[in-house]
Amino acid sequence: MNKDKPPRFASWLLARASGPAGRANVLGDYEEIYQDLAFEQGLHAARKWYWSQVLKSLPMFITNLLFGSAAMFNNYLKLAWRNILRHKRYAFLNITGLAVGLAACLLMAGYVIHELSFESMHPLKDRIFRVNGRIPMGGQIVLNAVVAAPLGPAVEESVPEIEESVRILRRHNVPVQVENRDFKEKKMFFAEQEILEVFSVPLLRGDPRTALQAPFTVIIDETLAQKYFGDTNPYGKLIRLTLDRTYDFQVTGVMRNMPSNTVIRTPMIASFATLLQIYPQVARHWESWGNITTFVRLGKGADPTAVDAKITAIVRSHLDKDEKDASYYLQPLGRIYIENAAHGMNNDLDSSGSITRLYIFSVVALLILVIAAINFINLSTAKISGRMKEVGIRKTVGAMRSNLITQFLIESLLITAIAMGLGLVLFSLFKPRLDIYLGKTLNLGVVTTPWILPAVAAMVLVVGFLAGSYPALFLSRFQAAVIFRSGVPRGPSRAGLRRILVGIQFFIAGALIVCTLVVLKQVRYSETKDLGYNRENLIVVDNRDASRLKNASLIKRQILSRTGALAAASVDNFPSAQNRNISTIRTEDQAEGEGMIVQSLEVDADFIPTMGLKITAGRNFEERRAGDREAVLLNEIAARNLGLENPVGGLLYRGDRAYRIIGVIEDWNTNSIHSRIYPTVLFASDETATDLVIRLPQEGRQEVISRIRGVVAELLPEQIFDYAYVDDLHLRSYDEERRLASLLISFCELTVFVACLGIFGLAAYSTEQRTKEIGIRKVLGSSVAGIVILFTRNYARWVFVANILAWPAAYFAVSKWLQAFAFRTPVGFIPFILAGLITLAVALLSVIFQTMRAALANPVQSLRYE
Amino acid sequence: MELLTRLEEAILISVIKLGEDAYGVPINREVSRIFGKAYTMGGLYFALDQLVRKEYLMKRSADPTPKRGGRSRAYYRLTPEGKEALEATRRHQVRLWKTIPEFKNGN
């Protein structure tokens, strides 16, 4: 190597960048200085200088090269525009596909960013944690987002790392009365004063230091203030909330509406002091399970893992021996929303997001964009040979290669820019539909969201350059003479590249369709699976007032005798969704403190027949039978896990009380089929059961319900009649999956649509190219069918291969997704076959349409000029 | 007439100063001296091209020399239009400064 020469790669770069016109001169100048430097300061310094100069100069040279002057740039734009108009069909296919892909991608990106931005508005969020319980139950650990009420103050006092604690109790569907108008609020909190400081809740009115100090005070957000009081100042006004009983609360503050991306989002916060006054026993009651969400804020630099053990030790020192296996840990605020669905958190503050869903969405969005970009590249490369002559003529009249490159790039950028503009319009149009799918309103707008426009601009550049660079570099290479002499020069297997890209598109489409079909299958399976009891015409009625008056069975008897209901039973806290009651029990042989945590249900003698459960051994409860207050029934799993072979007649202990096992029931799903069936123990309920389960007759259900309403109104005038079909409650557990399914369906439609645009364009192009061939074949006696088959065979083969390859990928994806369910539908082969048929059919339709037209044309027309 | 930018002004002055010897390397040296910092070569070419396009400078290629790896030099010379532009810019400067009384006497 020649040592006095400047670095070869650097000078090569410089030569490319400086353009043919100034090349010799520029390179010469650089080399001259290089030589001087090498002589004066040595080779190393000279090389360094050369490189740094080249790198610093590159951007300048490139701008110089591309937009030598504004006039030239205008000229390029004009040419690009004319070319788009000349190839209207390609431009249309390109622009539509890209726009759709971009809109979908933006929507999904917006959603994903919203989900990832949870809690970002709390300035101290890295120091805020929630105390969660880890409770062993039936051989597995159950996570619980609520703890006992005394825990908060106790840990704040004795754990030095904890600066501040906030206790929150959620209430749902709370009836509110304001100036004699009735409302019902979906959600409210009871929370300690500290919530305002720890979560920096901005108050528009009221004193943030005292607003939630006194009992029976409440703060509401702007929306509620407007709804309740219109434009008048709500401060100091009274609102009436119905909890177990009705209480008057004074409005002591108005807070700004909370953003949609925080788990502590609520329109109304009442003071925690209220709870302590209504239920003084709550403040003293230690238990492993609890019902209070407790947040703590740690001091600066405190180690959260060290705090876990301290909290656990404090709780254990207050608990009975047999509950000591529960432990506690701190969950960072920022992770609550994203993590909880995957971890199966119980009693969470809000429906939680799921990282799985985020992955699914981001991947799908990206795939759609990939498909759209592939279309663009495919159609542009297909067009190449059609524009060979144009290139030849341009070169003949003196265009330089750099001019041609610039022109192709600008054309490609222009198409992308138009597509992106259209994409933004589509985005705005479909944003409301996304909100409906997700069940929440995202703060997303083309102008209001700061990242959207820069992101779109970046996408224009990337997609535009990528798609434009191939034709630009490829086409501009040939000499005019070569082009005119031999027609279209052969490129590096362009058709092969296109086929592979089409294959990728249909690979994605096929895999997506398989996934969607399996998700749909699982949703159907969830909705129709036999849960072990008959849930048809079964309703749950809120009976809280009766439980307060301790006459749950009176109202049940009245309903049975007067309304035409087939059966009715009292049950305390009817389990649904994630809501279950827990107890610790042990057998005679187990020492105190060993025991097992089980799901407990307090029910009366009518529960088993009303629900349609099957007793496999022993007997049901009998009303008024002496000793049945201390009797229990087990489900089969509980009997098995406790190691009881002949459970009937044995004894179980809950705390120090003994219960006689009188029967065993076949297992049934008390909750959704996401979770497996827990070991369950039925205890005898007393008059304080909070719910009634009622079986309605098949005919005239509405009349029966209105008669039940009458009975409730008569006996419990203060009770608000609230009921739900058990079937609906059950179906609601799969809302998330149904939402996913409907979104996936839309995405499938999009991908298939965009992929079809692509294959349609390609087929159109290749038939156009081969018009003469078709004409000759027809003249020589080929049939229309023969020609169509000849032309479609290739596409069919590629789509077919793409599908086969998509199968294992899709299988892997859906198996992962199905793991969220304890009970899952077999994947089966039908989704795969179906996906293959769908993609094949759609692809062939778009191809055959084109080839048919060409094949039916009269050969005279295509051959006339030869 | 469009006014020159600071860089263009410096380049034109350097070209005048260098006379017969005005090509890339010395021009860059002069400009760097005027501004008191090393000027990137690439930035200079853009401005030079711009000035040639505006016809303030004339460009001509000379014979290749061995020191330059056998590459030719491009020499620049001021055109009458370039001189006019330079003077117009200077007149403008003076007029501008005169509007402030303290600088009236060319301090």
Q: What is the phi/psi pair of residue A673, to 5°?
A: -85, 10
* B68–A contact, CB cutoff 8 A: yes
B28 touching A (Cβ < 8 Å):
yes
Task: Please give the single-letter amino acid code of residue A317.
Answer: S
Run of H or E residues at B75: strand B74-78
Is the confidence at residue A325, as pLDDT, over 80? no
Q: Which of B43, B69, B73 sits opposite A25 (nearest CB)?
A: B73
Radius of gyration of chain B (CA): 16
Backbone dihedral angles phi then psi of residue A359, each to the nearest 5 degrees: -60, -50
Distances (CA, A) of A800 to A807, A809, A836, A837: 11, 15, 7, 9
Give the model's pLDDT for residue A344: 67
Mean pLDDT, residues A604-611 taken together: 89
Nearest 5 degrees, angle CA A481-CA A482-CA A488?
130
Identity (one letter) of the amino acid at B72? S
Write out pLDDT tens, residues A621-668. Answer: 887 777 788 889 999 988 888 888 888 888 888 877 888 999 999 998
pLDDT for the residue A627: 79
Facing residues of A833 across strands? none
Span A780-811, pLDDT tens digits: 888 888 888 888 888 888 888 999 999 999 99
The pair phi, psi for residue B11, each rounded to 5°, is: -65, -45
Mark out the alpha helices in A653-725 (DSSP H runs). Answer: 701-715
Helix (H) or strand (E) holding A634: strand A631-635
Tokens read off for A376: 């663009």
Spatial distance between the Cα atoms of A251 and A13, rounded to a whole number of angstroms: 71
B40 contacts in A (CB within 8 Å)?
Answer: 53, 56-57, 60
In this structure, are strands A596-603 and A680-684 parallel, antiparallel, or unpaired?
parallel
Task: Give CA separation, A425 vs A104, A420, A442, A446, in Å.
Answer: 12, 9, 17, 9
For residue A533, what are its two tokens?
Answer: 């009891």
* For residue A189, pLDDT beyond 70: yes
CA distance B11 to chain A (A): 16
A440-444, A641-645, B12-16, B43-47: the lowest-pLDDT one: A440-444
What part of A 57-96 touches B (C-beta under 8 Å)?
A: 57-58, 60-61, 63-64, 68-69
A25·B67 Cβ contact <8 A:
no
The DSSP secondary-structure symbol of A344 reads T
Q: Give the pair of three-digit tokens for residue A419.
A: 């597509």
Q: A131 Cβ partners below 8 Å, 6+ apart?
A: A147, A151, A152, A155, A294, A295, A296, A311, A328, A329, A330
Mutation target to probe the B interface, by most B beta carbons within 10 A, among A2, A12, A18, A25 is A25
Partner residue facing B68 (CB), from A31, A54, A64 = A31
Q: Is the pLDDT of residue A536 over 70?
A: yes
Where do the DSSP E strands lie in A666-742?
680-684, 691-695, 723-725
Q: Which residue of chain A comes nearest to B38, CA vs CA?
A: A53
Position A778 pLDDT exceeds 70 = yes
Contact A61 B42 (CB under 8 A): yes
Which residues contact residue A158 at a Cβ distance below 8 angstroms, ignoring those fewer than 6 apart?
A310, A314
CA distance readout (Å), A725 to A539, A696, A701: 4, 10, 11
Helix H segments across B1-107? Answer: 6-18, 24-35, 41-53, 80-98
- Residue B38 sits at the chain A interface (C-beta within 8 Å): no
Whether residues A28 and B68 touch (CB distance < 8 A) is answered with: yes
- pTM of this structure: 0.67
Inter-chain residue contact A25 with B72, CB threshold 8 Å: yes
Tell me the C-alpha distance between A616 and A608, whole Å. Answer: 12
pLDDT tens sequence across A9-54:
887 777 776 666 566 677 778 888 888 888 888 888 888 888 888 7
A464/A196 Cα distance (integer angstroms): 49
DSSP A165-186: EEEEEEEEEEEEEETTEEEEEE
What residue has token string 């799908």? A364
Q: Where are the alpha helices (DSSP H) in A269-303?
A: 272-278
HSE of A706 in the Cβ direction (CA atoms, 13 Å)?
A: 3
| Interface contact A29-B61, CB threshold 8 A | no
Q: What is the pLDDT of residue A588?
A: 79
Q: Which A residues, 4 through 43, put their C-beta within 8 Å of a C-beta on chain B?
A: 5-6, 18, 22, 24-33, 35
Tell me the C-alpha distance between A557 and A715, whole Å: 12
Give the separation between CA A597 and CA A287, rounded to whole angstroms.
Answer: 13
CB B28 within 8 A of CB B41: yes
Q: What is the rounded (10 degree) CA torsion for A497, A503, A506, A512?
A: -110
Taking contacts as CB-CB distances below 8 angstroms, the residues of chain A near B69 are 5-6, 27-28, 31
| From A63-67, A286-290, A421-425, A720-724, the region with the lowest mean pLDDT | A63-67
3-class SS of residue A301: coil
Q: Is the pLDDT of residue A855 over 70?
A: yes
In 3-state terms chain A splits into helix, strand, coil percentages (rounded to 5) of 55, 15, 30
The H or E element spanning position A227 is helix A222-229
Q: Which residues in chain B touch residue A29, judged by CB atoms under 8 angstroms apart? A: 23-25, 28, 41, 68, 73
Residues in chain B: 107
Contact pairs from chain A to chain B, CB under 8 Å: 76
DSSP A186-206: EEEEEE-THHHHHTTPPEEES
Instruction: Mean pLDDT check: name the lowest of A200-214, A349-363, A677-691.
Output: A349-363
Inter-chain touch A53–B46, beta carbons under 8 Å:
no
Answer yes or no: is the ipTM higher than 0.90.
Answer: no
Rounded mean pLDDT, A596-625? 87
Contact state of A56 with B42 under an 8 Å Cβ cutoff: yes
Quote the CA–CA distance of A302 and A349 in Å, as a whole number.
25
Q: Mean pLDDT over residues B53-57, rounded?
A: 83
Nearest to B72 among A6, A18, A24 (CB): A24
Chain A residue with the nearest C-alpha to that of B71: A28
Element housing A629 (H / E):
none
Are A846 and A760 in contact by the 8 Å Cβ rule? The answer is yes
DSSP tag of B102: G
In chain A, where are the structural domains located?
Answer: 8-66, 149-285+289-325, 355-526+734-863, 544-718
Distance of CA A533 to the CA centre of its chain: 32
Q: Do A57 and B28 touch (CB under 8 A)?
A: no
Q: Which residue has the higher pLDDT, A275 or A768?
A: A275
Whether A402 contacts chain B with CB within 8 A: no
Residue identified by tokens 């396009």 is B53
Nearest to B41 among A6, A30, A63 (CB): A30
Q: At what angle do helices A784-818 and A771-779 cross, to 10 degrees?
A: 130
Q: Which residues of A touch B31 (CB under 8 A)?
A: none
Chain B CB contacts of A28 below 8 Å: 24, 64, 68-69, 71-73
Q: Which residues of A touch B72 (CB under 8 A)?
A: 24-25, 28
Share of chain A above pLDDT 70, in %: 91
Picking from B16, B11, B48, the residue whose alpha carbon sits closest to that of residue A57 is B48
pLDDT for the residue A582: 76
B35 contact A CB<8A: no
Query: Residue for token digits 């120091």?
Result: A127
Contacts of A22 in chain B (CB under 8 A): 45, 49, 74
pLDDT at A577 over 80: no
Distance from the B42 Cα atom to the nearest Cα atom in chain A, whole angstroms:
4
**Residue in A864, A862, A849 with CA at minimum distance from that of residue A760:** A849
Mean pLDDT on B12-19: 86
pLDDT tens-digit map of A361-402: 888 888 888 888 888 777 777 776 667 777 788 888 877 787
**Is residue A90 within 8 Å of A418, Cβ to Cβ?**
no
Contact state of A31 with B71 under an 8 Å Cβ cutoff: yes
Determine the Cα–Cα distance for residues A402 and A15; give it in Å rounded to an integer: 13
The long-range contacts involving A397-403, CB below 8 angstroms and separated by at least 24 positions, are A400/A20, A401/A20, A401/A476, A401/A477, A402/A19, A402/A20, A402/A65
The CATH number of B6-103 is 1.10.10.10
Exposure letters A781-790 (e unless 16+ CB within 10 A, then b): eeeeeebbeb
